[in-house]
Amino acid sequence: GIQVEQSPPDLILQEGANSTLRCNFSDSVNNLQWFHQNPWGQLINLFYIPSGTKQNGRLSATTVATERYSLLYISSSQTTDSGVYFCAVEQSGGGADGLTFGKGTHLIIQP
């Protein structure tokens, strides 16, 4: 099956810093999503981004499908950004087959 690798596995930053999280995948995909899991375990969908660039406030994401990677940018980090960020992909698209998740990037923002 498709492999999803995220880097770095852990990241510790001071409040106000910027960060870039990377997701590499081993085959072509028609569905790619970024999620944030908060300390209570809730997974929140950040972006549906199989290709192109999207922005939502301090967060933005870019997927270069032809080169099989996606990047999540967090600017002006806040302590509430702490948690685990997951990239997940689906080869077929449409959401019917379930997602394959990377192992995540554990982000800690210190005040």
Partner 1 sequence: DVKVTQSSRYLVKRTGEKVFLECVQDMDHENMFWYRQDPGLGLRLIYFSYDVKMKEKGDIPEGYSVSREKKERFSLILESASTNQTSMYLCASTDFLGTQYFGPGTRLLVL
Rule CB under 8 A: say whether 85 interacts with partner 1.
no
3-class SS at 65? helix
Identified binder of partner 1 from the candidate list 85, 90, 105, 109, rule CB under 8 A: 90
Q: Please return the burial class of 66, using the count of CB atoms within 10 Å of its CB with bins 0-12, 13-18 and 19+.
A: exposed
Site for partner 1 in 25-54 (CB under 8 A): 30-31, 33, 35, 40-45, 48
| Least CB distance to partner 1 at residue 89 (A) | 10
The alpha carbon of residue 55 and the mean position of all alpha carbons in its chain are separated, in whole angstroms, by 13
Give the interface with partner 1 as residue ranges (CB under 8 A): 1, 30-31, 33, 35, 40-45, 48, 86, 88, 90, 93-104
